[in-house]
Structure formats: C-alpha cells, structure tokens
Amino acid sequence: MSLASVAANSTAPSQPPLAERRSMTRQVHGMEISDDFAWLRADNWQDVMRDPSLLPADIRQYLDAENDYSSAMLAPTADLQEKIYREIRGRIKEDDSSVPMTDGDFAYASRHREGGQHPIFVRSPRSGGDETILLDGDARAEGKSYFKLAGVSHSPDHRYISWSADEKGSEFFTIRVRDVANGVDLSDEIPESSGGAIWANDSQTFFYVRVDENHRPSKVFAHRLGTPVSDDRLIYEEHDAGFFVGVGKTQSGRFISIDAHDHETSEVRLINADHPFSVPVLVAPRETGVEYDLDHGDDCFYIRTNARGARDFSLVTARVTDVMDGRSSGREGWVDLVPYRPGILILSFTIYKHHLVRLERFEGLPRIIIRRLSDGTEHEIAFAEEAYSLGLMPSFEFDTATLRFAYSSMATPNRVYDYDMEARERTLLKEQIVPSGHDPDRFVTRRIQAPTLDGETVPVSLIYARTTKLDGSAPLLLYGYGAYGISIPASFSVSILSLVERGFVYAIAHIRGGQEKGYDWYANGRREHKTNTFSDFEAAAEALIKGGFTSKGRIVAQGGSAGGMLMGAIANRSGALFGGIIAEVPFVDVLTTMLDATLPLTPPEWPEWGNPIEDVDAFNLIRSYSPVDNVEAKHYPPILALAGLTDPRVTYWEPAKWVARLRHMKTDTNVLLLKTNMDAGHGGAAGRFDRLKEVALVQAFALQCVGLASVAL
C-alpha cells in the first residue's frame, strides 16, 4: 500500500493534528522573526529532562495526538514491521560476546544472554578458569521504561568496578562503584555526571565530569572511595560556555588527561596518576582554531595537532620532563615526528611501549600505519575492497606488541584481528556471525564519485543485491550526515540488508562537513560554507539517477541529528527529487537554537554553524537555510520525523515545531508523521531489540514511500 492510498483510506484519521498558532515576534539585527509555535518549548524544559512527567499538559496533548496519528497511519504496515524486526533480529547472534581484553591477571569482556537487551560485563582469570559476572545490565534494567549503561571501568588493582547508567534518556548518568569480591555496590553514588569514571593508580580515587544546568560537561572532580560526594575535590572548571571538558588516561597509565574543547579548539592538562590531587599541568594554551590531543610513551608525549598550518594534522613529540616541570613553552618545544602531508588525514593514534600506531585516511579510505619507535621503520595494514571500514580497538596494556583492530565492509561482516606488530602477522579472533545466514557474494559494493557544480566530487558508497537491475527502476535509500568532521564508515549493517534484499540500493553520500577527503572537506561544509553539504547531497542523488541506480521520486533520504537538518534543508530545496524523507531527531530549528545561549550545547555549536547573535552575516546565512524558517506553501514528499522527549542534544520541540509549520504550510496530501519517544532521548530506545523495532518502523515507512509495503512481505 502506498502512502497516498493510506492517506485516502477511510480507516485512517481523516485529519492530522494541527498545532495551535500562538503568535510571537521579535527583532534581531533589525529584522523581524515570527514563531507561531514557540509555545511547544516548555518553560520548564530543564525539569522535564530530569522528570518527563513535568511536561505541560498542552504540549503533551499535542505530542500524544501526533503519536496517535502516526500509529494510525502506519498501522497497515504492522505486519511488515514485525517481519522486518524478526529478520533483523534473526541476523543477530543473541548470546554474542566480545573478544576478551587482557589486563594483568584477568581478561575482561562483555556478552549478551539470548533474549537479553543489555550487556553483561564479565571477567575471567587470564590463565583460564571460571567467569565472574561483574554487572548484569538486564538485571539493572528490570522494571525500567528506559535504561542505558555508559560502560564499566575496573580499578588498577582489579578490586572495584565503576559503572554508570541513565534512566531517563536525558544523558544524566549516575556513577556507582561495586566491590567485585561480593558484587555489592558501595555507598558512593554520583548523580548528573557525563558517565565515565577514570581511576587513579591508587585504586581509591577516580575522576569524573559533572554536567551543569544547561547539560554542558564543565567540571572535573576527584572522588575518594568512602567519602561524601559533597567533599569531592574540584580539579578543573571550564568557565567558557562554549567549551566542553572530558577526562581520560594515557595508554601507559601514568597520566590523567583533562581536555577542554569546542569544535575547532582544544587544550589539555595533565595530572600524574600516582598523585591524583596534584595541580593539573597545562600542556599548551588554547589558540582559536588549533587542536591537539596526546598520548604518552616513556620519556615523551606524542601529540596529534593541526598547529603550524598542518590542516590534515601531524604528529609531534614533547619531552615529559619539559612539560611536567614547566620548562616547555607550549608548542615551541614540540618536535616534528610525522610531518603534515596534504591529503593524508591522521584520524587517531595510540602509543605502546615499542610502537606508535596511527589510523589515517588516504584517498577516502582508512589505513593503519605501524611505526617501530626504536628505529622509525613503518609498515601499513590496508585492504583491497573498494569501500570499507577500519578501526583501532582499545587495549588495557601498554607493554605489548599486539594491536587489535576491526574491519568490515558493506557486504563483509565485522572481523576482529590481533596483529603482531613485530612479526607483521594478523590473527582473526572473531567474525560476526549472522545466524540466519549471509553470503557476501550475493551483494555488490561500489564507490562512485558524484560531480558537483563547483568542481568537486562527492564519494558515494553503495551496496545492492547482484540481482538488482540498474535500469533506474530500483528504489534507493540515500543516507547523509555532513557535520562536525564526522566521517560515515562504509561498514556492515545487519539492518540495512532488509531493504537491500527487497530490491533497494543503499547509498551513503560522503558529503562536505565530514572528513572523508581530509580536513578541508570538513571546513568547506561548515559555517559560511554550510550549504555545500546540501548541494553535495543533491549532487549525489542526481549522480545516482544518472548512473541508473534509481530514478527521480524513487529515492528515500535519511539522516539524523545534524543529518536531520540536512533532511529539512533538502525538503525545502529539492523535495521533488525524493520519494520520501526520514528525519531522525532532526536539528531543524537552527536559527532559534543558535540565537539562544541558554540552551544545551548552543555556545559550543557556534564554531560549527556561526554565532548569529554577534555576527549579522552568520544570522543571514543560517536564516537562509534553517529548515523551520524556510518552510513554504508548496508540495513536500512524504516525511517521517522522529524525536525523543528527553533529548538534550536536539530538543523535542525542534522536530515538533518543524512538523507543525509544515502541516499549516504545505499544499500536498502526502503523509507527514511525527513520532516522539516519550521515554527516551537522542538515541531512541536503549535496549538492543527495542531499538530494532524503531529501525523496522523506519524501513516500513521507506517501503511505503516507494509503493512496496504491500508486496514486501
């Protein structure tokens, strides 16, 4: 059944809900802004994040009405949703487990029980023996409508674990500490943290980050076991409202690192992990537009930075004694190790006692480079597929010659390898099992280049069944993100196979705003260049049509968060290209949000989008593309918008205002749906199977958009 026929079906509601218009205008830079749906933002939104029951009744009534309408309109796909859900679940090994990571006398891992929604964290003696359950996520989640673990971290002496969980979807995590010997949580309990806990070497002290009233990670505290949280020592506070803070530990275990950063500038302070209450030492003062991060190896700090014009980053070193004793004058003491090479982006790196490992992207594909520290010799780990995903995996150990990494492609399930950096030999430890069966040879993976009007080419990764005809008749799902320098990997997904096996081509447009083609690819897709992101996505769609992969009106576009803003922009700019648009937690009220410095994340976002409060040019540019502000009286394709009530990143009222304005303005009868998860935030449902139900709903909508829902069972 197509969406047009559903809209005309007498069993569906005859009219969608219409939000009340409540006129509000204001002047900014001498220009009038009107917002008839500003009332959908609850005055007590900060309280709602902590307790959703406090949502005002009129707002709840509207969101509930939209949810009821969405349920009714999608009811004809209920059987299809259930079938897709069962298919995807059938591709997941339900009792799966991670490859154990060794640390001293123990090996740590996580696993799921069959039917379980949440991970179980375990450890075993390194030499072999019985497993100990450290934390059972299913048991902790029992009876809760939302539960998400942020992770588990063991103390250096292996006596304790810290663990944290969010029970509202609002990303306020409570940290707890458990005695491994008896499995009992201590009285130590820290609310409203960002989630992680980093242990000092005394195994009695850990560091954590507390979020402020605007949900900004702003303060680093040290907590000593058995002492009141009120006595926790403030180690560092970030006073710039545009910066976040984080805390970590070097691979060597010798230093605690405190980083302060926005989207283009960073600054690091260090504490000797043997002396957790010592004063943090600044490595190099912040300088707008300069980023750096570091790791430690014996007598040197190794630093990845874009300082000195290294736009794709370089690696430098600084002597530990110079930095920690204050003899180094910031960046002046840094010595080049791996120089800047235009077009070769250094993504990340790790230092082991005898080796430096870096992950790079060259010509759009990742590769791992191993450098022996004693003599500087290097070699590469790479793969031959046209498009693939490659990532370094964490390790608890420093003095080791073993590197762990993961590899997959859009057709090849995930593989985990251990790699002997001296012998240059890889050992396959685990290959993702697809219980219902998977034959990579039944699929084709491709990478094409889509030309743009300004002379660039946009990489597009593709997967489709070998039996799919490339004559323009195939439906296509085109995914895009394009922000924050985040590159979307061409990795394996058990979920997308349900569409591919029904004849869809699945495509990822690696548009500007990501870093698939280096740092400049990112820089040319943000701030004053933001509209390149939208035109790149449109260029990808046009190239796919020209290449016979699909045709106009057969493309379903999908994006979430900042990618949801992309969905809103292309709906306004080029909606006729698309047969449907799926916008998940979409950042669509860009101008209003960037004009409000009191909202979560707004000041840290100004380097990405521009500051329309102080900069009239930024105001005019954002106003020109902000999806809510550019809705017009014209035809739009079918649209599904998903939101989370307790989402602190993209607040629920952004998609609500967008849909409300579309309902009043658009001139077509195409379906427009808003589904708000009233028990979750930015990531949707937290349980692994509950999340699959949301994926199945999205895919059923995509099939509806191209008229395949009734024949896809």
Whether 561 is a known active-site residue: answer yes
Q: What is the C-alpha separation between 662 and 18, in angstroms, rounded?
A: 10
Helices (H) and strands (E) in the chain, counts: 15, 38
- Structure tokens of 40? 């959908």
Residue 369's SS3 state is: strand
Q: How far is CA 174 from the centre of its chain?
A: 21
Q: Tell me how far apart the alpha carbons of residues 344 and 633 are, in angstroms, rounded to a whole number.
A: 46
Residue 499's H or E segment, with its range, is helix 497-500
CB contact at 8 A, 263 and 608:
yes
Over its C-alpha atoms, the chain yields an Rg (Å, rounded) of 26
For 133, 175, 470, 576, 597, the CA distances from 546, given in Å and listed in that order, are: 55, 53, 11, 16, 44
Give bridge partners of residue 154 from the DSSP assignment.
161
Residue 682 bears catalytic tag: yes
Encoded amino acid at 625, one letter: Y
Whether the CA torsion 415, 386, 342, 421 is positive or negative: it is positive
Question: Among 179, 197, 196, which residue's Cα sits nearest to residue 187?
Answer: 179
Q: Is 473 among the catalytic positions?
A: no
Helix (H) or strand (E) holding 712: none
User: Both tokens of residue 257?
Assistant: 């690192």
Q: Could you tell me which of 231, 232, 256, 253 has the C-alpha nearest to residue 245? A: 256
The H or E element containing residue 597 is: none
Query: Which of 267, 248, 355, 343 is closest to 305 using CA atoms?
Result: 267
- Per the listing, tokens 């929604």 go with 117
Among 131, 134, 119, 111, CA closest to 182: 134
Which residue is catalytic, options 193, 257, 561, 626? 561
Which residues are identified as catalytic?
Answer: 561, 647, 682
